Chain A
Amino acid sequence: DAGITQSPRYKITETGRQVTLMCHQTWSHSYMFWYRQDLGHGLRLIYYSAAADITDKGEVPDGYVVSRSKTENFPLTLESATRSQTSVYFCASSGSGMNTEAFFGQGTRLTVV
């Protein structure tokens, strides 16, 4: 399907486990982003990528790892999940032109128990 898709939609994991959230876009957008959304904090940028093999930290990167070997995929890994990482995670993508918009996936609701 065209667009940006995230998987899984829901995930429950235990503290200390590694978990990977997937993001796939079909627009060949240069930029991809990972945000977390928590009550009282809005959308906070975790990591972003300007192109394949180029990634950079956002506002709250600690405890997360990203990679981007292909333009269309941008997985987010929690190396050792903590309860504070319980959140809703959104992936987004945008083009590289001067006038660009961000398009969001449906989100992954992650619960760390």
Chain B
Amino acid sequence: GQQLNQSPQSMFIQEGEDVSMNCTSSSIFNTWLWYKQDPGEGPVLLIALYKAGELTSNGRLTAQFGITRKDSFLNISASIPSDVGIYFCAGRRYGQNFVFGPGTRLSVLP
């Protein structure tokens, strides 16, 4: 089936640092979504993007819908310990199911 690539697979950062991660696809999507999953919990929606080039923020999080519609980026500014978790991207074409990336595991060192 369709696959999304996320990078990096994992990252260790110091508290206070900014974080960047991205998601790429060989196919065009109409919707890009970013989720965070804490241990033992379900993925929680962080940001939804619907237009190519769209830049949307949610607190310290900012995500962008790539111009080519084949990629998306998520930035976290001034990381804090509770940012630890797995970040998933998802794409969707009209009338089709969601496609999820494998996730980026974020660890924040105090």
The reply to whether B100 and A42 contact each other, CB–CB distance below 8 Å, is: yes
* Chain B residues with CB under 8 A of A102: 33, 45, 90, 98
Question: 8 A-B pairs, CB-CB below 8 angstroms?
Answer: A43-B43, A43-B100, A59-B1, A92-B98, A99-B50, A101-B48, A104-B44, A107-B40
Number of residues of chain A lying within 8 A (CB) of chain B = 21
Answer yes or no: B66 CB below 8 A from chain A CBs: no
Main secondary structure, interface of B, reads loop
Q: Place the interface of chain B in its size category.
A: 20 to 34
Considering the chains assembled together, what is the distance between the CA atoms of A102 and B33 in angstroms?
Answer: 9
Contact between chains at B50 and A106 (CB < 8 Å): no
Q: Note all chain A residues with C-beta closer than 8 A to B100.
A: 42-43
Which residues on the B side are within 8 Å of A42 (C-beta)?
88, 100-103
Query: Is A103 interfacial (CB 8 A cutoff)?
Result: yes
| Smallest CB-CB A-B distances: 4 pairs | A104-B42, A43-B100, A42-B102, A99-B50
Give per-residue flags for A81-94: 1 if the beta carbon is below 8 A from chain B beta carbons, else 0: 00000000010101
Tell me the B46-61 residues at the A interface (CB within 8 Å): 48, 50
Which of A45, A102, A103, A105 has the largest number of chain B CB atoms within 10 A? Answer: A102
Question: Shortest beta-carbon distance, B28 to chain A, in Å?
Answer: 15
Q: Which residues of B contact A92 (CB under 8 A)?
A: 98
| B41 and A43 form a contact (CB under 8 A) | no
Taken together as a complex, chains A and B put the C-alpha atoms of A34 and B14 apart, in Å, by 36
* A45, A59, A101, A107 — most chain B CB neighbours (10 Å): A101
> How far apart are the CA atoms of A92 and B98 in the complex, in Å?
11
A28→B94 CA distance, assembly (Å) = 20
Docked-complex contact A48 and B31, CB < 8 angstroms: no
Partner of B42, one of A45, A48, A99, A106: A106
The B64-110 residues at the A interface (CB cut-off 8 A) are 88, 90, 92, 94, 97-98, 100-103
